[in-house]
Structures are given as C-alpha cells and as structure tokens.
Amino acid sequence: MSIRSVGKIYDPEGVHVVALKDCSLEIAAGEFVAIVGPSGCGKSTLLNTIAGFDGLTSGEILLDGEPLATVDKDPSPGPDRVVVFQHGALFPWKTVLENVTYGPVVQGAMTEEEANTRAREMLSRVGLNDIETAYPGQLSSGMQRRVEIIRALINNPKVLLLDEPFRAMDTVTKSASHQYLLELYDATGKTIFFITHDLEEAIFLADKVLVMTTRPGYIKKTLQVNLPRPRQYSMLASEEFLAMKAQLVEAVHEEAVKAFEAGEREMA
Amino acid sequence: MARAATMTSASFGYKTRKFFMSKHFTRGSLAVIGFFALWQAGSMGLMPFMHAIPTPVTVAGAFWEFMCTGKYWQSWMDSTLRVGYGFVAAQILGIPLGLGMGWNRNFKDFTYPLFELMRPIPPLAWVPVSILFWPTNESSIAFITFIGAFFTIVVNVLGGVSAIPRQLVDAAVSFGASPRQVFWRIVLPATIPSIVTGMMVGIGITWNVVIAAEMIAGNTGLGRLTWEAYLAGYTPGIIVGMISIGLAGYVSSMAVKMIGDWLMPWKKVF
C-alpha cells in the first residue's frame, strides 16, 4: 500500500484545520506497521482515509497499485480494509458468533453454515471456543478485543487497520492481547496498520514504527525494527530494544511538547 | 460464561419461582403490607387528618362488592382497551417517525419543528377538539390516550438513533452492508433499548391520561367508576377505583417489561 503526499484539511473555508500535510508512507504486503505520535496529530484521520470513511484533499492512496482514494475519488469502505476501533464496535445485540459471521454473511461471501464453521475454527485459535452464544456485554475487555480482531480477519482483508485497540487495558490483559495478536499475525501474514500511543507496544509488535508529527501530520521518522519473529517477552529488556525505545522517546517527546504548546496557544 | 449459560437456559417457571423466594420480593411485599398497616392505624384515629379515610378493612369489603358486579369488570375492560388502542397506535406511528427523523436529515428538517410545536400541548388540552373531531366518545378517548404515548415514544426513538455510536455504522459499512442493511440490521436493533424505555414511560402516561379523559368525557371505565363514587359521596368506592387503576398500571408495565426483555435478550430492562 502506498500513501503519497496525502493531505487532509477540515473545513477549508472556515476554521481551516490541516490534519495531514504531505504525508507519505509505503507499506509492503504482509508488513506490520505501527504509527505513534501525540494525541490529535492526525493518526486516526489517516486511518479513516485508508478505511474509506473520510475523503482527502490532496495526494493519493494506492492499494496493490490501484487507486483507493484520490482528490477526485472519495474512498469507499470495504471488507478488504477492516478496522478494529478504539472504543470497540461489536454489535451488542448479536452473539459472539453472529458478530463474527456478520461480514461474510452480509457480503454473501459464505453461507451462514460455512461462516459458522470458519468462525468457530478461528475463535478457538485464540482460546475462545465456548462463548459463541454469549453477548459482547458479558465478556471481559480482553475477550471482546479478540472477538473483534477475529471478526475483522474472517473477511480475509488485505489490510487490517487497528486504532489503538488495547488502549484502555490493564498491563496484564494488554500483554496477553499482544500475544494473541502476534500469533494471529504470524499465522495469517496479514498487512497490519496499527495506531498506538504506547512506544513499547509499537516496537514489540511491529516491523516498522513511524513517528507522526503534531498537526499538520506527516511522517517524521521511520524506525526499522529488526527483532526476530516470533517475538519473545524477554526482548523487552534487550539492549537493542531499549536503544530503539530511546530513539522513539526523543522523537515523540519533541512532538508532544510542540502539541502541548500549540494547545496552550489555542486556549489563550 | 456461566452467566451466559444460565441466561439462555433458565426456564420461565424457574425464574418466576426464584423471584418469589428472593429478598427482592420479600422487601417489596413488606413495603406494601407496611403501607396498609399504617393506613389502618391512621384511619382508626391514630394520625391527624386521616379520620375521613375509610380503613383498609372497609375498603376491602367495598372491593369485594365491586368485584361481584359486572360493571366493575366492564370498567377494567373499557379502560384497558382504550389504553391498548392508544398505546399500540402510538408505537405503530411513533417508532417509524422517530427512526425517520433520526436517520434522515431532510425528513427531520420538515417534521421536527411541527412536532416540537405540538409536543408541549398536554393530552388533556386535546379533549375538547378531540370530542368535536372524532365521531364517537370511544375514539376520542383512545385518541387522547394515543397523544399521551406518541410524543414520548418519538422523542425516545429520535434520541436513541442520534446516540448510536458512529463506529457501529462504520463497522457495518466496511463489512459491506448496504444502506438498507445498515438501517434494518444496525440502526433498528441499536435503537431497541430506547424504544423499550419510551414504551415503559409511555404506558404509565397512557394510564394517567385515560383516567383523566374518562372523568371528563367518558361514560365508563375505571376513571369514570372512581368519579361516580366521588359524586355519590361513597369514599370506599373512590379508593377501590384508585387501587384498581394502580393495579392496572402495574400489570401493564410488567407486560411491557416482558416485551422489552423478549426484544433485547442481550440486556435487562431496568
């Protein structure tokens, strides 16, 4: 996937908020890319344009060489780019199984029975075999997230878009969730676009960590993570890991201070 | 997981039996019994201002007498039918209107101002015009009852549609749902909790309204029964009427609650 000098301006005639400016990045097929940056820097805007929820005001986005979105062509959402949302978007009135099979059934890609079989198979891969008749409200946050990731993956997307999926979790749930996500990634080899605030999480999960600037957002720094896969928890304490983290901390801190000062100026 | 299992497999009878043995039931019964005990003490002259009120025992006697008459049961029937017509009509018209207003901006632009203009008019202010307009007494009372439930359900549904988290709709769209499928499979079920709340509030209002309307315009019904007892100066009859109205309202709220629990197995009605 190529994102070429993408720009996004909200309300061009009014307040004129430049969310993205000349933002370019390349994601290879099967690559796990994490984006970090201060709050409100346009990470989610970028994800929304890739997902097709938002149009862009300059540049273009290509997927497998085909234009997905240009200035003239508003993107449309599709099952080849599914999102796992920050606050969770499981349908509370559907059971776990109904949630997971929603995509393939609504697209007509599978019959209900095929979808059920496939869903059970995938759920059991992340340790969720006996909850298919439960409603999302009855599950813990960690289980909900796993269900949501499975619900996205069953569509066999080209890109999986994750918008801070583990943000509100406690440390224990979070590290278990990392484990499941990495296992799924290693097993499926999907391209993943992962937004986060958490630098350790970014390095631990991704092949490539991109630092985004504060508004207007563009990619300021690219960090190649050369840790071998499968990733092990012991790596978190390795010197290599810590060195990478130090680089990121510096880059992100600079942006955070800028964002903070800009915020104070706006308030004044 | 254990919770999921009990929720789906517990039979209705089992749940009912469990409820009657629970502390919730005991507490509720204690309050009701306590109320009657205080009332008895009050009307026996142990509390000021209450000597004019007949004792529960007298009222119980009157209750029995009423229950032996066909007129009493006819009153129940008449009031219940009026509430039923008005309430059901309000849901049939109000739920689609609220959904339409919440889902389609143009439709809301056209309808909302007019709706907000009509909403503050109390149901009872509709009585005169309703008597003039509707051919029969029955239909005008049912219409007033309808007004009572209609605005409530529309406001609740509209609020429910507006509060649907955007990401639910986004998720459905990216899974490939058409606008039609989004409406029927996402917007409608996501609004059910608000529909049920609107129904719970609405059923209470319809009982308020039907009683008042019967006192003004009716020849029959529980409201009329109470009013006639007052005109005859028969105090125990007034109280029998009041208790009957309370019971009727309670039973219909329970019925709505059961419908609500059936409509949304993923969530309990309050």
In this prediction, residue B113 has a pLDDT band, given cuts at 50, 70 and 90, of very high
Number of structural domains (chain B) is: 2
What is the Cα–Cα distance from A63 to A191, expressed in whole angstroms?
11
> For residue A72, what pLDDT is reported?
77
pLDDT-wise least confident of A67-76, A106-115, B20-29, B217-226: A67-76
Residues of A in contact with B189 (CB under 8 A): 91, 93-94
Residues B97 and B42 both lie in one domain = no
> For residue B6, what pLDDT is reported?
43
Residues B203 and B252 both lie in one domain = yes
> For residue A5, what pLDDT is reported?
66
Residues B15 and B95 both lie in one domain = no
- Residue B269 covered by a domain: no
> What is the residue range of B220's domain?
62-263
**B181 with A106: Cβ contact below 8 A:** yes
> For residue A60, what pLDDT is reported?
80
Distance from CA of B28 to the nearest CA of A (A): 28
Query: Which CATH number belongs to the domain containing residue B78 in this structure?
Result: 1.10.3720.10
pLDDT for residue A264 is more than 70: yes
Burial (CB count within 10 angstroms: exposed 0-12, middle 13-18, buried 19+), residue A77: buried
- Residue A126 covered by a domain: yes
- Report the pLDDT averaged over residues A119-139: 88
Residues B25 and B138 both lie in one domain = no
Query: Are the C-beta atoms of A81 and A105 separated by less than 8 Å?
Result: no
Residues B110 and B222 both lie in one domain = yes
Residue B56 identity: P
Q: CB B14: neighbour CB atoms within 10 A? A: 11
What is the Cα–Cα distance from B136 to B217, expressed in whole angstroms?
11
Residues B136 and B83 both lie in one domain = yes
User: Out of B4, B8, B171, whose CB is closest to A89?
Assistant: B171
Q: Residues A205-235: pLDDT tens digits? A: 999 998 888 877 788 888 888 888 888 888 8
Write down the pTM of the prediction.
0.83
Query: What is the share, in percent, of chain A residues with pLDDT greater than 90?
Result: 19
Within an 8 Å CB–CB cutoff, is residue B23 touching chain A?
no
User: Out of A83, A131, A135, whose CB is closest to B170?
Assistant: A83
**A92 with B266: Cβ contact below 8 A:** yes
- Residue A263 covered by a domain: no
**A106 with B176: Cβ contact below 8 A:** yes
Number of structural domains (chain A) is: 1
pLDDT-wise least confident of A18-27, A32-41, A220-229, B68-77: A18-27
Element (H, E) at A21: strand A17-26
Residues of B in contact with A131 (CB under 8 A): 1, 4
Within an 8 Å CB–CB cutoff, is residue B182 touching chain A?
no
Residues of A in contact with B173 (CB under 8 A): 77
Residues B118 and B225 both lie in one domain = yes
- Residue A161 covered by a domain: no
- Report the pLDDT averaged over residues A175-186: 89
> For residue A215, what pLDDT is reported?
76
In this prediction, residue B89 has a pLDDT band, given cuts at 50, 70 and 90, of very high
**B167 with A89: Cβ contact below 8 A:** yes
Q: What is the mean pLDDT of chain A?
A: 85
pLDDT-wise least confident of A42-51, A132-141, B22-31, B222-231: A42-51
- Residue A93 covered by a domain: yes
Q: CB B181: neighbour CB atoms within 10 A? A: 16
Which DSSP category does A217 fall into? B
The closest of A191, A181, A167, A155 to A77, measured between CA atoms, is A155
- Report the pLDDT averaged over residues A183-193: 89
> What is the residue range of A97's domain?
84-154
Residues B81 and B121 both lie in one domain = yes
Residues B70 and B183 both lie in one domain = yes
Q: Chain B, 76-105: which have a CB under 8 Å from a chain A CB?
A: none
Q: What is the mean pLDDT of chain B?
A: 90
Helix B105-118, helix B70-103: angle, nearest 10: 140
